[in-house]
Amino acid sequence: MTTSTTSESPAATPLLDLQALVVAVRRRRRLWCAMALLGLLLGSAAAVLMPAPPSAVAKVLVAHEADQPNDPGTLIRTDVALLQTTGIAGKALQALGSPDKPEDFMQDYGGIGLTNNLLQITVKGRSDAEAVARAKALADAFVADHVRRIQEAAAAEAKSLLDQRDRLQEQLAQVNKAIGDATPQSGPKASANMESLFASRAELTSRITDFGQRAAEASVGTPRLVAGTQIVDTPRAERHSLARTAATDAVVGVVLGLVLGLAVSAVGVVVADRPVLRREIAANLGASVIAELRRVPRRRGRRWQGRRTRRARSRLTATLVRSVRDSAEPVSLLELGCARSTGAIALDLAAALGEEGPVVVVDGLPGSKLADRRPGPGAPTVVADGTAEAESAQERRVGVGSVAPGTAWTDLRHLGTRTVLVVRAGHGSAAWLHTVARQLADQRIPVIGVVLIDPDPRDRTDGTLWDGPPAAPRGRNDRPARPIGTGRRRTERLPMWTAMVPDSDQEAR
């Protein structure tokens, strides 16, 4: 069984239809809205049930010898990494007299570089006083460690410079001794040797003086760095607002829940492959969408809503009457995911056709839902599928059945030799819709059209198919299409445009 659409060929069908994906995800708004609400509740509950522990904050000004205006923050990041060491944590615990392990204490504090020279330390505790004491001890330990490293570096540099100066002084003493031991001689060679010795003495004297100055500068620069490293903001307890924390956690929970819900919905849509657009359902069933029935809220609406619903049902009934009136063959309504809506449509159709003659509704739905109902005054006759053969041959029959999984396909022809499929959008998978179309074609039951239940209100796709090549001319004098499954090439027929109508009050969710 092959069908073709006017919009695009099957070869041009994209691997992933973004429009169908967006529509399907939007139809699952209950899921991702529920996930967002769950995230909101969990975030708020986490803020109340797991409040932030007491904490204290201290700020330390750190002076570096290699400070540069264009420093990208490497030095302060090094200080943050040094703060998270067992040496500094152990010294802070030793100052506090705490028996805790440095590894455990490192989990309770952290540092962040606010600027290239300003370090903020945050410490947690069992109480505000303990957090403040821990922050003070940790800041003092960091300052002491930083000062120690500066002094050790300065001392090592000064010692290195002084050692080089001492070696040069030894060389200078040897040069002076060579000059003193030299005998006065005349001649160019002796004069050259003396000039070389005097030049060496001058160079060594200059270098000794330079190393001495550099050693003095290294020693002088250390007090400046030591004085520049200090606690500029004494540790204080950090105040936590429960309302602000709950609001922040709630927003985070809403965002995470919404993203998770959208992701789950999108993945579920792709995996399930359940068509929701008119064009997809029409293409998979090989029949045109002749009417739509939108679902309304379960709660009873206002009076104007009831009038609008009745007008919509009247238009839908008129559309179906025009579709089945031209033939005396029995017609069936086969549902997929909307049994109650199909029963209501069948009763309305039987009531409209009853004005032209007797009509019997043959209930083939699982459980005989229509046959067991209490008929009202003027309601059409409803019989079960097993008693339908005993009815008069003069009565027009309207069968009601199902094409859900588990259907006995050979029994569908007893309900009607022509059928109208009543399908809820997004209920059946594409594979099952293909199965329904193939089975109806095998049973030689032509499909008059499709009534789409609960469509997407923003769906603007075309749900009308033409039985012929897209390039074939179309006109009012074309021959009618042969039923699906005859094996012959089908000619083109005029489209049956979709009727956009809202749902009835009898629709079940």
Report the C-alpha gap between 502 and 308 in whole angstroms: 8
Q: Which domains does the chain have, with CATH numbers?
A: 10-17+277-502 (3.40.50), 55-239 (3.30.1890)
Q: What is the DSSP secondary structure assignment for residue 466, as one 8-state letter?
A: B
Q: Which of 199-213, 257-271, 374-388, 428-442 has the lowest mean pLDDT?
A: 374-388
Contact 383, 363 (CB under 8 A): yes
Contact 161, 218 (CB under 8 A): yes
Place 452 in a pLDDT band, splitting at 50, 70 and 90. Answer: confident
**Tens digits of per-residue pLDDT, 56-91?**
999 999 988 777 777 788 889 999 999 999 999 999
**Tens digits of per-residue pLDDT, 391-424?**
455 678 888 888 988 888 888 888 888 899 999 8
Secondary-structure percent of the chain, ordered helix, strand, coil, rounded to 5: 50, 15, 35
Report the C-alpha gap between 137 and 110 in whole angstroms: 14
Region 357-376: mean pLDDT is 72
DSSP run (H or E) holding 150: helix 128-181
**Which residue carries 């390039």 as its tokens?**
471
Report the C-alpha gap between 425 and 406 in whole angstroms: 20
Report the C-alpha gap between 284 and 3 in whole angstroms: 9
- What's the start-to-end Cα distance of the chain, in Å? 33
DSSP run (H or E) holding 139: helix 128-181
Report the C-alpha gap between 65 and 79 in whole angstroms: 13
Contact 422, 349 (CB under 8 A): no
φ and ψ of 455, to 5 deg: -75, 170
Tokens of 13: 């069908």
Cα distances (Å, whole numbers) of residue 236 to 124, 133, 223:
12, 9, 28
Give 11 or 274, the one with higher predicted confidence: 274
Closest CA to 502 of 285, 211, 350, 306: 306
Structure-derived torsion over alpha carbons of residues 158, 159, 161, 163, reported in degrees to the nearest 10 = 160
Task: Give the chain's mean pLDDT.
Answer: 77
Amino acid making up residue 67: D
The answer on pLDDT for 277 being more than 50 is yes
Cα distances (Å, whole numbers) of residue 86 to 138, 153, 455:
12, 21, 65
CA 338, distance to chain mean position in Å, is 31
**Tens digits of per-residue pLDDT, 94-150?**
999 989 899 999 999 999 999 888 999 999 988 889 999 999 999 999 999 998 888
Tokens of 10: 């099957």
The answer on pLDDT for 472 being more than 50 is no
Q: Which of 131-145, 210-224, 241-255, 454-468 has the lowest mean pLDDT?
A: 454-468
**Tens digits of per-residue pLDDT, 330-340?**
888 998 988 88
The answer on pLDDT for 476 being more than 60 is no
Q: Check residue 503 and give its pLDDT.
A: 43
Residues in Cβ contact with 112 at an 8 Å cutoff, skipping those fewer than 6 apart: 80, 119, 120, 122
Residues in Cβ contact with 256 at an 8 Å cutoff, skipping those fewer than 6 apart: 39
| 3-state SS class at 331 | strand
Contact 416, 398 (CB under 8 A): yes
What is the DSSP track for 164-217? HHHHHHHHHHHHHHHHHHPPP--SHHHHHHHHHHHHHHHHHHHHHHHHHHHHHH
| 3-state SS class at 283 | helix
> HSE on the CB side for 383, CA within 13 Å?
16
pTM of the model: 0.57
CA 415, distance to chain mean position in Å, is 47
